[in-house]
Amino acid sequence: MSGGRPPLTCIDLFCGCGGFSLGMQRAGFAVLAAIDFNAEAIATFDRNFPDVPFILHKDLTTFGPEKLAELIWPGSSARLGVDVIVGGPPCQGFSKVRRVDGANSGPRLIADPRRHLYREFLRYVGFFQPRIFVMENVLGLRSAVGGAYFTAVQKEARALGRAQGRPGYRVHSQVEDAWELGVPQKRHRQLIIGVRSDLPGYFLPELQHAPHAVPRPCLWDAIGDLPILRAGSGEQERDYDLIRRVEHVEHQEGSALRYLCNVLEIDRAKKLTSHVARHHSERDLRDFARLREGETSATAMRVRGVEFEFPYDKSSFKDRYTWQGRWHPCSTIVAHLSKDDLMFIHPTQNRSLTAREAARIQSFPDWFRFSQSRTQAYRLIGNAVPPLVAEGIEPPVFN
């Protein structure tokens, strides 16, 4: 963006703890407002974004865009200063995981009001008429209910404003691979992007990773310097192990140092927080130890004939355990970590990942503070848009 021009602005809907907002700020945007229904998400957002003027704990089904406009620009009837609206409506109603029991597809489809929350997002887009909007969701949006919602989101978005004689939007969908954008995990997400039709000749291509990102980082780049923990140990706040960090950086040929400094911004964090390992039963720890690095329990049983103490239902829980590999991207960080983290076994330590490790894998910097409740922290981290993905959205039309 050219010098002297006022910063471009955005609004973050269903903001969660702030992954989208952090990425947009890093790309040079001023976040005018962030809204979410979850109180813990808003408390975490407020703790980390002191410069965002309106951080609102609101239900978007009852708190309309007119109310937000009045807060931002009291007494003005103009829809001022919103260049981009971003957001990730809750994805559970489209999750492929919930297709296993028919909850999101097939004859046993369960009604879920969260599938309609995209309309609240579009209501704000229709009111503010931003130049661009970006909606993020899981890939299951494409197939849930036979693709009906995937089609409806785009069709309804294209119609925005046309009835009132406004320009309307050119809308398209694209799937982004977070690993390609510098996030050390296997994470694919669906983006639906709308460009106001009075912006000629512009169509957002595949996102480009941020200049400071490390292309295709491995898991070890993100977490290899952190202090060693046993299951059930750790402190909510502690000093870094600087000797271990130096050794880690020396063995990673520069990629780790770039990730630690440029993405995790370790120079801004005075203390290491949220690095507390979950307690595991002795049975689980013995089962963990039967795995090899990078191996799932399904592979161990099929290839090596390993027998686990956990009473497996061979038709369901074959991948109950996954020992992550240092030199590959991590499995997708998900909110289910708050309940069960056995698919996220540390690559060199006999335990699952801590909240700080999960946050680093999501590309949250070390200065970003989460709830002291590990369950809440896991949920917020897993539900977040990785900041590095959001940072790649800066449209070239604004340059």
N-to-C CA span, the chain: 5
Q: How confident is the model at residue 106 (pLDDT cuts 50, 70, 90)?
A: very low
If you average pLDDT over residues 276-287, what whole number do you get? Answer: 94
Mean pLDDT, all residues of the chain: 86
Query: Is 3 domain-assigned?
Result: no
Active site residues: 91
Looking at the structure, do residues 152 and 170 belong to the same domain, yes or no?
A: yes
Range with the poorest average pLDDT among 80-84, 218-222, 373-377, 393-397: 393-397
What integer pLDDT is reported at residue 138 of this predicted model?
Answer: 77
Residue 230 has pLDDT above 90, yes or no: yes
Looking at the structure, do residues 304 and 324 belong to the same domain, yes or no?
A: yes
What integer pLDDT is reported at residue 7 of this predicted model?
Answer: 84
Q: Minimal CA–CA distance to 275: which of 222, 208, 203?
A: 222
Query: Is 1 domain-assigned?
Result: no
If you average pLDDT over residues 233-255, what whole number do you get? Answer: 91
Residue 182 has pLDDT above 80, yes or no: yes
What integer pLDDT is reported at residue 92 of this predicted model?
Answer: 47
Residue 108 has pLDDT above 50, yes or no: no
Looking at the structure, do residues 132 and 269 belong to the same domain, yes or no?
A: no
Residue 104 has pLDDT above 50, yes or no: no
Residue 93 has pLDDT above 70, yes or no: no
Number of domains in the chain: 2
CA atoms within 13 A on the CB side of 63: 15
Domain hosting 254: range is 219-383
Query: Is 170 domain-assigned?
Result: yes
Compute the distance between CA of residue 204 and CA of residue 171 in angstroms, rounded to an integer: 10
Query: Is 4 domain-assigned?
Result: no
Looking at the structure, do residues 256 and 352 belong to the same domain, yes or no?
A: yes
Looking at the structure, do residues 198 and 65 belong to the same domain, yes or no?
A: yes
Looking at the structure, do residues 120 and 24 belong to the same domain, yes or no?
A: yes
Q: Minimal CA–CA distance to 125: which of 77, 174, 71, 162?
A: 162
Looking at the structure, do residues 45 and 194 belong to the same domain, yes or no?
A: yes
Looking at the structure, do residues 274 and 394 belong to the same domain, yes or no?
A: no
Looking at the structure, do residues 131 and 45 belong to the same domain, yes or no?
A: yes
Residue 395 has pLDDT above 70, yes or no: no
Compute the distance between CA of residue 53 and CA of residue 56 in angstroms, rounded to an integer: 10
What integer pLDDT is reported at residue 146 of this predicted model?
Answer: 67
Looking at the structure, do residues 47 and 137 belong to the same domain, yes or no?
A: yes
Looking at the structure, do residues 27 and 172 belong to the same domain, yes or no?
A: yes
Per-residue model confidence as pLDDT tens digits over 184-212: 999 998 888 888 888 876 655 567 778 88
